Amino acid sequence: MAASRLGMTPAQYRRAGEGVSISYASAPTPFGLMMIGATDRGICFIGFGDESEELLARLRAEYRNAHVEPMTQPYDPQFRAWIDALAAYLSDDVPKPELPLDIRATAFEMRVWNYLAGIPSGEVRSYGEVAVAIGQPTAARAVAQACARNPAAVLIPCHRVIRGSGELGGYRWGLGRKRALIERERAQRARTQHA
C-alpha cells in the first residue's frame, strides 16, 4: 500500500471529510454484513457488523462532515468490481485484492498501516513488534490506537496484530471476527503450502 494511495489530503483529514462525497453499499460475507464506502478516488471505509444502520453510523462518525449517500443501482462498474473482489477474497481462496484507498491518516498511522499491509497472510505480529519495526519501540500503545482507528478492515489487516502475550487484544469489528479472519488465513496458507 503505497503512501500515494492513501488519498485524502491533510486539509480534508482535519475537516473530517468536508467537501468529500462518499457512496456506500453493503454485502453479506462469511464474517457478517460488510459495508464499503468509497469516494471517486478509492475505498475510504470497510466495516463489518450485524446491521447496516450500525455500519452506516460508524461510516458517518468516521467522516462526519462528508456527504454520505447510498450507491444507486446499478452500481458504478468500478464500485461493483471492488465489492466483487472483496467478497471473493472473503469467501474463496483468492489473494487479498490490491484496491485503491482514499483514507484519512496521520503520518504515524500511515507508517503503521503500511507496515501492516506487509505482514504475510496467516501471520501475526504483536503491537510491540510493529512498534519496533517502524522504528518507535516505545510506541506499542500508539500502534494499538492506530489499529483501532483503521477505517478499512481487511485491506489494512489490523486483525494480524495481537498482544505480546499471544492474546488477541482488541478489534474494532469484534474479537470473534478477528479470530475467524486469522484462522481463515492460516487455513488458506496451509492449503496453499500443501497444494
Give the residue numbers annotated as catalytic, written as ranges: 158
Phi/psi for 162 (5° steps) reads -130, 175
Q: For residue 95, give the C-alpha cell.
A: 489473494
SS3 144: helix
Burial pattern 59-87, b for ≥16 Cβ within 10 A else e, equals bbebbeebebeebeeeeeeebeebbeebb
Phi/psi for 99 (5° steps) reads -120, 150
Adjacent-strand bridge partners of 21 = 67
DSSP 174: -
Cα(125)–Cα(136) distance, integer angstroms: 15
Cα(95)–Cα(80) distance, integer angstroms: 18
- 100 vs 83, 161, 169, CA distance in Å? 12, 22, 28
